[in-house]
Amino acid sequence: MTTGIIAEYNPFHNGHKYMLKQIREQFPQEPIIICLSGSITQRGEMALLDKWTRAKLAVLGGANLVIELPAVFACRSAEAFGQGGTALLTATGLVDRLAFGTEYPDLAQLEKAASFEPDVYSGEVQQLLQQGLSYGAAITTLMSEKLHLPEAMLYEPNTILALEYLRSLGKLQKQGQPVPKPWAVRRQGAGHGDSIPKGNFASGTTLRQMTVNSPDKNSLKKALEPLVPPAVCQAIVSCTSYPDKAKIYQLLRYKLLSTAPQELQQILGISEGLEQAMLQAINFPSYDEFVHHLTSRRYPSTRIQRLISHLLLSMNKELVEKMDNAGPLYLRVLAMDSTGRQLLRQIKNRGRLPLLNKVTSLINRRDLLHPEAMNLAQQMLSMDIAATNLRSLALGETTSLYEDYLHSTCYIENYLRENSNLNTPSIYPA
């Protein structure tokens, strides 16, 4: 048996460590595979640490193998994120159990909520939309009312993702695919939106804010030490720069100014004249003010942030639809240990997708010059490369581009996991 987890680890913290510990205690002989979002997260933000570092830290934290969730699924709605992640883990041919954290780990209640079919109540959905609710809020309101479930439960971010995982597993099962069994773990400590740590637990949001707002490295180290494993603390503190919204905003403004309105309308998520509202909003002096101006009940801030990433990645509606229909088209390996190496051998025999240790096995830099000649898998991978380039441009220093061509799968020796408080873990090419 093998356990799979869909994660972001932005950054890896004590709550994630607790979850992996629970799995190890319950299923001590089972390896763990992580499906990790890459350079851009589900909230539409640049990841605090690069994807290779986050993958290494995941292995040091207890995972055996880390594969990347393609960007076309990673920086999307909970539905697309969940579908991409479950499809990718299922495609390994090994994952028998899907573990996830949630504020409400009652699996019967979660499955009840996941069975809700919005199409049955399309008329009522439209009425709520006309009242100014977002689509997600409208569905949540009806779900609570029709299924007699606490509305607070349905608004928790981790529970929202859990429901999408369950729905995605159901869809895969209807297609005749063997799917992993869900396994829920109660989220510990601070909630997703909590700004203050609870004991030794803090949300990813709090840790990111703490990192970028810290006055100096010593203060940051002192603040992080109780909340994250030592290797994570060292990785964050040793970074010379973090993604800068101001740099992203300049790229966004230029993109909006240089793109015809009819082309903007073809970007995923842009509808109802939103492109005109965005063009008007570029006069605001900062990224946060831009997002705030466009935020409404219909368009929450996270949706606007995702929309920004869609625009910067040129995520065309027609192309994304093709990718959604196809699902993930490769298994890109970011990091592993000795057990992970054994898992790869099994995936080669039982998996349904090609393994990628190096991007050049699918696409080289010359191919990027001729997007019209790319097949769908190459187009999907080129979006991952674009996302990494975008994150590099968001850093507050001169950085190399096309880092995807500079990194191979990382192999972490077992002794490094046992001594993961080492300042600089040695990483060897696979």
Percent of the chain with pLDDT over 70: 94
Residue 129 in any domain: the answer is: yes
According to DSSP H, which parts of 41-131 are helical? Answer: 51-60, 71-74, 78-91, 107-114, 122-130
Residue 111 in any domain: the answer is: no
Residue 112 in any domain: the answer is: no
Last residue of a domain, one of 318, 334, 350: 318
Would you say residue 413 has pLDDT above 90? no
Residue 223 in any domain: the answer is: yes
Residue 110 in any domain: the answer is: no
Cβ–Cβ < 8 Å for 294, 281:
yes
* Cα–Cα distance, 340 to 361 (Å, whole number): 20
Which residue segment(s) compose the domain that 171 sits in?
Answer: 3-103+156-240+321-429
Residues 420, 329 share a domain: yes
Cβ–Cβ < 8 Å for 22, 50:
no
Last residue of a domain, one of 318, 351, 366: 318
Residues 122, 38 share a domain: no
Residue 108 in any domain: the answer is: no
Residues 85, 62 share a domain: yes
Dump pLDDT digits (tens) for 43-77: 999 999 999 999 999 999 999 999 999 999 999 99
The mean pLDDT of 347-356, rounded to a whole number, is: 95
* 394 three-class SS: helix
Ordered DSSP codes for 124-148: HHHHHHHTT--HHHHHHHHHHHHHT
340 or 189: whose pLDDT is higher?
A: 340
Dump pLDDT digits (tens) for 234-263: 999 999 899 999 999 999 999 999 999 999
pLDDT for 414: 65
Residues 373, 266 share a domain: no
* Cα–Cα distance, 271 to 360 (Å, whole number): 36
Residue 215 in any domain: the answer is: yes
User: Please, which pLDDT band fits residue 400 given cuts at 50, 70 and 90?
Assistant: confident
pLDDT for 5: 98
Cβ–Cβ < 8 Å for 74, 67:
no
Residues 144, 48 share a domain: no
Dump pLDDT digits (tens) for 80-116: 999 999 999 999 999 999 999 998 888 998 998 999 8
Residues 171, 138 share a domain: no
pTM score: 0.92
Number of domains, the chain:
3
Q: Which two tokens stand for residue 430?
A: 């696979």
Residues 352, 217 share a domain: yes
Dump pLDDT digits (tens) for 121-151: 889 999 998 888 888 888 889 989 998 888 8
